[in-house]
Chain A
């Protein structure tokens, strides 16, 4: 999901993207989803059909690692799984040209640990894109213990080329956005657990009260509750801080497979177009 979104944004900025997938079949599936996403953007007036065409011509799919490594910049976007990320970094490290920066897309993993053991750890840095990458205006760029200035400067420039404001940070679990957002989701879940208010009421209070586009629980549904749970677990392990202990509701929902908008159910219910179907009467769009 994140990889598709990043590829789209990079292509939108006029650059050519090579997407490395494990197989030709998988590439075809991803390409189809990417096209559907773009059609959705057209419906939302974010893109025109000719812009879609231009975006697609600049995205090339391959399963050939050597081909992918011929680029000026490598962005790793597999799921937030330490071992999987480490494996692919080891694979590309020997093929990439010496100066080519490696950007790791992660919300909670340590850049320094991921870079350890590579021949050029100084070229590894973190870039935390926020979903959907096509519209969010910010990207966190993260310096690990051994990240070199050259790679960091390239990333800062790259962020601007993508039309994003780079927030420069030092490595720390959850960086800024995840670390601040996730405890709020957790707290909202606790409020629901304690029976203080229903999930819908908690979200509506926060949304209208602070003029947010989404309440924290719907935000969590859209990000994926399994991911939120994963982040909390990582943050608790890294910091040892009990404030990151996941609320039991989260674990229950994830165990039941109710991981959020993409499966139709999380804290709330969603249709196949990912529209929420159980909004309260006061939560309907309008001039208010």
Chain B
């Protein structure tokens, strides 16, 4: 079946049309029919671009004032007689939406009903920058494709299997019971997909493996996946915690914040921007938030870029060690995301010398790993594997739609893991 996948941000809509089925999932042969992006929604020069395999990229510029108009344009272009990929929008049999935050309410992907929509609305308070736009996409698609079933796939759902000892903070317990402050974790669809692919690539059963997944992109997070269940992850209540990122600080002493606020007389919004937009690789190096630029600067002897690079990789190493202890060992470390898939330097610096954990990188294979391919980069003799798996969150969303329709969508909740109320 053809599934339209929508990922709605504040001023953008990413879309893909994916042909998939339970059989195609099993054979890993789903087909991306088209992918595209609407940018600068709300302005008079909004841009819609679309890539279709084997065809010239399509682009149009015009006024698109809100999400409904954006989705309407997308449907028009998809069914355009000349540039389109569908004879009729009726070929779309389902719509899958990326929803950032499902709170504790969703431990699985679900079909959207009025009740589900109300529950996503309740999660807005947890993700005020993301969920409202996701909801706008849902409302737009429902009004434009009224007979087509809609599905929600949550970034947080996969991590709902974590035990309370991993998700409760050392704060007054009231903050959990009153405000639902806990670790949620993000990038769940990606961690889930690459762990599954890693097991397949190694010809082993996911249910028998302990895997550490490293999603290193614009945002970075790692997850400890014990026999298919996420048991810990680096991002927390928000996507700020854990690893160093392009412009986000990751872990730090929280007491720094009131101190800096008082000394620099910062407002809450300035503090928030400092942590999310002025920190990380960019904040430390002063060079760039982009790892490619950091690596270039390191090459030309920039000390602060070197420091940013070292901190980035050191944190990954620390978490590999921590998660190996959490799971009593590891069978594989997976790298994914823009940096994880493309930076051999990061993969090397993050894993070199970890042979005491059974991780033995093959530097040569690692350096020559071709882009965009699944690849084992550890030595054949390595007890645990180091693997590159290109992530594909849209594909997971399309697949989950098929799984929910086919009644085979697993739930990630572990009832024995509920925290006391």
Chain A positions within 8 Å of B, measured between CB atoms, are: 14, 16, 44-48, 135, 213, 285-288
Contacts and interface: CB of A to CB of B under 8 A. Distances in A.
B82 interface: no
Interface in B78-135: none
Contacts of B267: 135
B27 interface: no
B266 A287 contact: no
A266 B128 CA distance: 42
Given A14-B43, A48-B278, A285 B270 contact: no
A45 B262 contact: no
Given A14-B42, A14-B43, A285-B264, A45 B258 contact: no
Nearest to B41: A14
Contacts of A46: 269-270, 273
B147 to A, nearest CB: 34
Interface secondary structure of B, over-half rule: helix
A45 B275 CA distance: 9
B262 A287 contact: yes
A287 B263 CA distance: 8
A133 B212 CA distance: 47
A61 B263 CA distance: 38
B310 interface: no
Given A14-B11, A48-B278, A287 B258 contact: yes
Contact of A286 (B247, B263, B277): B263
Nearest to A47: B273
Given A287-B259, A288-B262, 13 more contacts: A14-B42, A14-B43, A45-B270, A45-B271, A45-B273, A45-B277, A46-B269, A48-B247, A48-B273, A135-B267, A135-B269, A285-B264, A286-B263
B14 to A, nearest CB: 19
Contacts of B266: 44-45
Interface string B247-276: 100000000001100111111011101100
Interface string B39-60: 0001110000000000000000
B265 A285 contact: yes
A46 B264 CA distance: 13
Contact of A44 (B247, B258, B259, B270): B270
Q: Closest 4 CB pairs between A and B?
A: A45-B274, A45-B270, A45-B273, A287-B262
Contacts of B43: 14
A16 B43 CA distance: 9
A286 B269 CA distance: 19
A196 B138 CA distance: 64
Contacts of B269: 46, 135
A288 B262 CA distance: 9
B45 to A, nearest CB: 9
Contacts of A44: 266, 270
A16 B45 CA distance: 11
A44 B247 CA distance: 15
| Residue among A14, A45, A48 facing the most chain B CB atoms (10 A cut-off) | A45
B286 to A, nearest CB: 11
A47 B277 CA distance: 8
A280 to B, nearest CB: 16
27 contacts: A14-B11, A14-B42, A14-B43, A16-B44, A44-B270, A45-B266, A45-B271, A45-B273, A45-B274, A45-B277, A46-B269, A46-B270, A46-B273, A47-B273, A48-B247, A48-B273, A48-B277, A48-B278, A135-B267, A135-B269, A285-B262, A285-B263, A285-B265, A286-B262, A287-B258, A287-B262, A288-B262
